[in-house]
Structure 1
């Protein structure tokens, strides 16, 4: 039996900051719009694309809930990869994608603000959006999905996931199931601000999912924004 998690189709326009990172015409990762020139994602998603030859194959699709509807498509000028990113430890899993041309905002395309303090987040409700798998051995969904989660206590997460550091944040589903869900690089949002970036998702039942903690990287992000 596949463990379908309680993800559901997202209403159109509910996640106007959500983008699909498309490589060579295939959906590869999620990301979020920070401003007209900058997309936030995971280092994991762009680590192989540092050479400029690859960047021409990378496109950012905004303003669409459907992987087969392109929405507004933007070319990539450059990427900033956190130089401390370590694939083994999964630390510092954060990157920025810089666009050649500015994003045009409308009802379906809007930026998301980043969290400034996350002192009070444990146990709070949050929302993950993305096209990730809807079951443990499932495929990606053509429709943007959303799922309600709870921020997991940090100390419990460190016990469940030995790789977890202070610069990570974790979630569990409300039913206590795991969420095998969400694209790498995609946004975790609480109270209208982004608190996490999907970083590693072991897809093991009952295991918390781990995200890059946005508040730990605010200064890195602001230093590397394309102005």
Structure 2
């Protein structure tokens, strides 16, 4: 019997920001600091520490998934190996404000101070509003989540995997909405994100086209990503309001 991670959230597609996600399955360790836009989100809910991914879109804004809004968030930039004591270029910045979209699985984090941009920490390009990604496009996703569906262990090093964008009509989820979501992955190869990778970017030709939002628990179906291009007006308006 197939079990889907959103069974815990029966309204997941009616309220997409409730969808959950997680690990890099079938991938490999990313080249050290090859993705300077990646943000590691350490989340403290008062009882335990959890993690999400995110990506730097401005010197003081990180984009992630709204379902990562479950506690106090600290953003780490310039990180590859979480346990390494030699990564002296990493930047640890508390979050000043969390701005989740009221309906969809996308959230902006305003940092308490601007990130220092360099070869280890930098921005990623956002798409134009309502830009479409063509089916068959080869993209990549990265994160510090699980690397094995049979283990709860999370990765200490940044992992990455290449995935292919699927036609909207081929996405197997009942309430899939092509205007706010995109579907990517190869169920035959079992390469997907899934726990700990939520909020990370789906990167296509150097542009953040999606946000890891929802996956099959075993990685055997394509993942669903929040379609970033749909929310460009919201992102720009929100950042403009909060800029000093």
TM range (shorter): 0.7 to 0.9
Q: 1:131 aligns with which of 144, 153, 163?
A: 144
Contact 1:39 1:98 (8 Å CA) reproduced: yes
The alignment partner of 1:114 has SS state of coil
Contact 1:170 1:208 (8 Å CA) reproduced: yes
Q: Which sits farther off after the overlay, 35-44 or 6-15?
A: 6-15
Question: Structure 1 unaligned runs (5+)?
Answer: 50-54, 85-91
Kindly state the Cα deviation for residue 209 of structure 1 after the two structures are TM-superposed: 0.5
Structure 2: distance between partners of 1:175 and 1:165: 23
Residues 88-117 of structure 1: CA deviation (Å, up to 9, x unaligned): xxxx10000001111001111001111125
Q: 2:96 aligns with which of 77, 81, 95?
A: 77
Query: Structure 2 length normalisation: TM-score?
Result: 0.79
Question: Structure 2 unaligned runs (5+)?
Answer: 1-23
Kindly state the Cα deviation for residue 38 of structure 1 after the two structures are TM-superposed: 0.3
Instruction: Tell me the equivalent position of 2:39.
Output: 19
The aligned length equals 207
Instruction: Tell me the equivalent position of 1:59.
Output: 74
Equivalent residues in 2 for 1:33-48, closer than 5 Å:
33-46=56-69, 48=70
Instruction: Tell me the equivalent position of 2:19.
Output: none
* Structure 1 pair 98–185 and aligned structure 2 pair: CA distance change class (3 A): same
Q: Which sits farther off after the overlay, 25-34 or 58-67?
A: 25-34
Query: Structure 1 length normalisation: TM-score?
Result: 0.84
Kindly state the Cα deviation for residue 200 of structure 1 after the two structures are TM-superposed: 0.8
How large is the Cα RMSD of the aligned pairs? 2.0
Kindly state the Cα deviation for residue 124 of structure 1 after the two structures are TM-superposed: 0.6
Equivalent residues in 2 for 1:194-213, closer than 5 Å:
194-213=208-227
Kindly state the Cα deviation for residue 179 of structure 1 after the two structures are TM-superposed: 1.9
